[in-house]
Structure 1
Amino acid sequence: MKQVSILLFSVLILTLSKVNAQNNIPHLNKNGTATQLMVDNKPFLMIAGEVHNSSASTIEYMEPLFPKLKAMNLNSVFVTLAWEQFEPEEGVYDYSLVDAIIDNAKKNDLKVCLLWFASWKNGESSYAPLWVKKDTKRFFRVKTKAGKEIETLSPFCEATKQADAKAFGQLMAHIKSYDKDQTVILMQPQNEVGMFQQIDYNPISLELYEQAVPNQLMAYLKKNKSHLKPYLRDAWVASNFKTKGTWKEVFGDTPESRAFFTTWQYATYINFVAKSGREKYNLPMMVNAWIVQKPEDLPGVYPNGGPVSRVMDIWKAAAPDIDIQSPDIYLTNFKKIVAMYHRDDNPLLVPESSAKVGRAYYAFGQHDAICFSPFGIEDAADNFVFTKSYEVLHEVEHLIKKYQGTGKMKAVLQEGNEEYNDVYLGNYKLKVVYEKPNQPSFGIIIQESKHEFIVIGMNLTVFFSSEKKDTVGYIGQVYEGRYENKKWVATRLMNGDETYHHSRLRVFGRTFETTEDIIKETKKEGEPDAYSPATKQKIITPGVYRVITYER
Structure 2
Amino acid sequence: MENTFFQDAAGKPFMPIGLQVHNSSTGSSMIKKAVQAVKAYGGNCLEAPVYWCCVEPEQDRYDMELVKGIVDEARSAGLHLILLWFGTSKNGHPNYVPEYIKLQPQTYRLALGPDKAPVPSLSVHCRATLERDKKAFVKFMEFLKAYDGEERTVLAVQIENEMGYANTDRDYSRMADRDYEKSVPEALKDVELPDSGKESIPADSAVSPWKKQFGRHSHEAFSAWHHALYINEIAEAGKGIYRIPMITNVMVGEQSYEEPGLCYNAGAAVGRVLDIWKAGAPALDLLGPDIYNQNRREYVRICETYAREDNPLFIPESPVRGEANAMNALLAAADYGAVGICAFGAESALDEEGKLMEDCRDMALTMRILSSMTPLLIRYRNTGRVHAFAEEEFETSHYLKLPEYHVVAKYLRHEKMYFGYTTDTGSEEGRKKAQVRGRALLVQTGPCEFYLGGAGVALDFYRRPAPGDEDCFSHLSSRQSGQLNFLSVEEGHFDGETWVTELMRNGDETNFSQYVLDGQLLRIRLNPDTGMDVEDK
Alpha-carbon separation, structure 2, partners of 1:546 and 1:48: 28
Measured against aligned partners, the alpha-carbon deviations of 1:46-82 in whole angstroms (never above 9, x if no partner) come to 01110111111x3544356435534543211110111
Measured against aligned partners, the alpha-carbon deviations of 1:297-345 in whole angstroms (never above 9, x if no partner) come to 2122211111112211111111101111111111112333222211111
Question: How much has 1:119 moved relative to structure 2?
Answer: 0.7
The percentage of aligned residue pairs carrying the same residue is 29
Label 1:161 to 1:406 Cα distance change in 2 as closer, same or farther (>3 A). same
After superposition, residues 238-257 of structure 1 pair within 5 angstroms as 238=199, 246-252=209-215, 254=216, 256-257=217-218
Task: Give the 3-state SS of the residue equivalent to 1:296 in structure 2.
Answer: coil
Question: Which residue of the other structure, out of 443, 449, 453, is the alignment partner of 2:450?
Answer: 453
Question: How much has 1:216 moved relative to structure 2?
Answer: 1.5
Measured against aligned partners, the alpha-carbon deviations of 1:5-55 in whole angstroms (never above 9, x if no partner) come to xxxxxxxxxxxxxxxxxxxxxxxxxx36x5532222101010111011111
Question: Which residue of the other structure, out of 264, 267, 281, is the alignment partner of 1:319?
Answer: 281
RMSD: 2.9
- Residues 1:351 and 2:316 aligned together: yes
Task: Give the 3-state SS of the residue equivalent to 2:266 in structure 1.
Answer: coil
1:258 corresponds in structure 2 to 219
1:44 corresponds in structure 2 to 14
Alpha-carbon separation, structure 2, partners of 1:65 and 1:299: 33
Task: Give the 3-state SS of the residue equivalent to 1:460 in structure 2.
Answer: strand
Q: Which amino acid aligns with 2:259?
A: L
Q: Normalising by the residue count of structure 1, what TM-score does the alignment of the two structures yield?
A: 0.78
**Aligned partners of 1:251 and 1:257 also within 8 Å:** yes
Alpha-carbon separation, structure 1, partners of 2:401 and 2:160: 40
Q: Which amino acid aligns with 2:338?
A: A
Question: How much has 1:411 moved relative to structure 2?
Answer: 2.0
Task: Give the 3-state SS of the residue equivalent to 1:374 in structure 2.
Answer: strand
- Residues 1:443 and 2:440 aligned together: yes
**Aligned partners of 2:41 and 2:364 also within 8 Å:** yes
1:299 corresponds in structure 2 to 260
Question: How much has 1:467 moved relative to structure 2?
Answer: 7.4
Alpha-carbon separation, structure 2, partners of 1:388 and 1:331: 19
Q: Normalising by the residue count of structure 2, what TM-score does the alignment of the two structures yield?
A: 0.80
**Aligned partners of 1:447 and 1:453 also within 8 Å:** yes
Question: How much has 1:436 moved relative to structure 2?
Answer: 2.7
Alpha-carbon separation, structure 2, partners of 1:315 and 1:236: 21
1:83 corresponds in structure 2 to 52
Q: Looking at secondary structure, tell me which structure has more strand per residue.
A: 1
Question: How much has 1:484 moved relative to structure 2?
Answer: 5.3
Alpha-carbon separation, structure 1, partners of 2:397 and 2:220: 39
**Aligned partners of 1:59 and 1:97 also within 8 Å:** no
Q: Which amino acid aligns with 2:152?
A: Q
2:85 corresponds in structure 1 to 116
2:535 corresponds in structure 1 to none
1:335 corresponds in structure 2 to 300
Task: Give the 3-state SS of the residue equivalent to 1:186 in structure 2.
Answer: strand
Label 1:214 to 1:422 Cα distance change in 2 as closer, same or farther (>3 A). farther
Alpha-carbon separation, structure 2, partners of 1:111 and 1:100: 14
Count of residues in Structure 1 that have an aligned counterpart in Structure 2: 473
Label 1:493 to 1:111 Cα distance change in 2 as closer, same or farther (>3 A). closer
- Residues 1:188 and 2:151 aligned together: no
Label 1:385 to 1:163 Cα distance change in 2 as closer, same or farther (>3 A). same
Alpha-carbon separation, structure 2, partners of 1:283 and 1:43: 14
Alpha-carbon separation, structure 1, partners of 2:515 and 2:305: 29
Label 1:368 to 1:168 Cα distance change in 2 as closer, same or farther (>3 A). same
Q: Which amino acid aligns with 2:68?
A: D
Task: Give the 3-state SS of the residue equivalent to 1:373 in structure 2.
Answer: strand
Alpha-carbon separation, structure 1, partners of 2:397 and 2:405: 16
Question: Which residue of the other structure, out of 466, 479, 503, is the alignment partner of 1:491?
Answer: 503
Question: How much has 1:547 moved relative to structure 2?
Answer: 4.9
Alpha-carbon separation, structure 1, partners of 2:327 and 2:447: 27
